[in-house]
A = this chain, B = another copy of it.
Amino acid sequence: MSEKIPYKIYLSEDEVPKAWYNVRADMKNKPAPLLNPGTLKPMTAEELDGVFCDELVKQELDNDTAYFEIPQTILDYYKTYRPSPVVRAYNLEKALDTPAKIYFKFEGNNTSGSHKLNSAIAQAYYAKQQGLKGVTTETGAGQWGTALSMACAYLGLDCKVYMVKTSYEQKPFRREVMRTYGADVTPSPSNTTKVGREILERFPDTPGSLGCAISEAVETAVTHEGYRYVLGSVLNQVLLHQSIIGLEAKAALDKYGVKPDLIIGCAGGGSNLGGLISPFMGEKLRGEANYDFLAVEPASCPSLTRGKYAYDFCDTGMVCPLAKMYTLGSGFMPSPIHAGGLRYHGMSSILSQLYHDGYMRAATVKQTEVFAAAEQFARIEGILPAPESSHAIRAAIDEALKCRESGEEKTILFGLTGTGYFDMVAYGQYNDGLMKDSVLTDEALEESLKGLPKVDL
């Protein structure tokens, strides 16, 4: 290709993907099904219908359909913040003095500050289509809650968010963003649910937890007529919606004949990584092309690299179905030192299966190294990245520096999932030299894995 590649590649409205891609269709070994925690049998559509809305249940269970057409309303909403650009990181390449070619797909240019909106609008849309009144969810730091609030505001759907109490109090900005979009935000645990009241009675001063907030959101959905529960990561349906990231990235690179050698994404529950790599992975699974995929995890929450591949609860509260995945145990909590997000104890069943089958690699990075990369990137490329996204930046910089040594002109694509405007407390710790690293110890891991449910299929 002799054509000069622009700093940013934008797709035109005509070029934007009109269907999501379901990578499960091309997997020989399908991801293991969700299990009913009572019967230990695969969850049926009927069992899931009470929690999720109908179309999403279909998407969750469909391992065969390769493409799902994106409804026009969702395409219209995508236009308000998509297509997101593929950026050629010329400035970073120059600063690193590397022969590597670095691209990133930037998903942070929307008010939720992350890629979460891609699935939030889809989940809200199908709830609206089904004639529901509203949806419930939990949020920790608030990216997912913000995204869902925005989607619900657009569609005129009620949105009830249970926000971990400590975040509710310590992150008032996120809370106010959600309220500005009309969401009903409740600090969790609360007295609006049975499970919340029980926890408050036993632990009146608890700061709350994501597990508890999930339990409250699910209870509210199943006890209120016309409500369903929605979730921002881990699920198959979420990876399906997030495939828009990879589809756009691939279309943009294809325009200039660019084929990445290495694709890097940060990995928490897997929604961003799964979305970014899906269409490329499809080619690899079909034997049409080869790519090196790298999942990057925090050293303090290393589910793929050090977790066990087993059935486990999706939630700390053990009320949700069991999923087969790489897990650190559903009771796992990263060290309180950890500030970089990606705290989920497990990993998407799809990505777990692909990793298990050898289709991708995984690595861990320490958080001071992550923030060093974040700062370097911000100063050179302008964008202040989210700590989560900065895991991928760290790995991309390290790979580019290896290319400087080897002289290899590797083409690297990484996912820049979001911006760090609401993470300045962690940046402040780093700026003041107060940030420390934490690495999960073998003893703590062993202890955490003791809680795995006994599932003998």
Contact = CB atoms under 8 A, between A and B. Distances in A.
26 contacts: A77-B382, A80-B382, A91-B154, A110-B382, A111-B378, A111-B382, A111-B383, A111-B419, A113-B421, A150-B382, A153-B380, A154-B379, A154-B382, A172-B428, A173-B173, A173-B421, A173-B422, A176-B424, A177-B421, A177-B427, A179-B427, A180-B384, A180-B430, A181-B378, A181-B379, A421-B422
Interface string A350-386: 0000000000000000000000001100111111100
B419 A381 contact: no
Contacts of A13: 6-7
A7 B14 CA distance: 12
A404 interface: no
Interface string A1-19: 0000011101011000000
Contact of A10 (B10, B91, B425): B10
The number of times this chain is found in the oligomer is 2
Interface in A155-205: 172-173, 176-177, 179-182
Contacts of A68: none
A7 to B, nearest CB: 4
B180 A7 contact: no
Q: Which of A76, A79, A382 has the most CB of B within 10 A?
A: A382
A182 B424 CA distance: 14
Interface in A77-111: 77, 79-81, 91, 109-111
A433 to B, nearest CB: 12
Contacts of A8: 79
Contacts of A374: 180
A184 to B, nearest CB: 12
Contact of A80 (B91, B425, B430): B91
Given A80-B381, A111-B378, A424-B172, A431 B153 contact: no
Nearest to A78: B7
Nearest to A10: B10
Interface in A210-257: none
A175 to B, nearest CB: 8
A150 B384 CA distance: 10
B424 A421 contact: no
A428 B176 contact: yes
Interface residues of A, number: 45
A384 B154 contact: no
A7 B77 CA distance: 10
A8 B380 CA distance: 27
A79 B382 CA distance: 10
Nearest to A85: B10
A180 B427 contact: yes
A94 to B, nearest CB: 10
Nearest to A91: B80
Contacts of A91: 76, 80, 154
A172 B423 CA distance: 11
Given A91-B154, A173-B422, A176-B427, 7 more contacts: A10-B10, A111-B421, A150-B382, A153-B378, A176-B428, A180-B375, A421-B422
A379 B381 CA distance: 30
Contacts of A378: 111, 150, 153, 180-181
Interface in A385-422: 419, 421-422
Given A7-B13, A176-B424, A379 B182 contact: yes
B81 A382 contact: yes
A111 B385 CA distance: 9
B177 A384 contact: yes
A357 B424 CA distance: 46
A85 to B, nearest CB: 9
Nearest to A79: B7
A415 to B, nearest CB: 18
A6 B113 CA distance: 23
Nearest to A110: B382
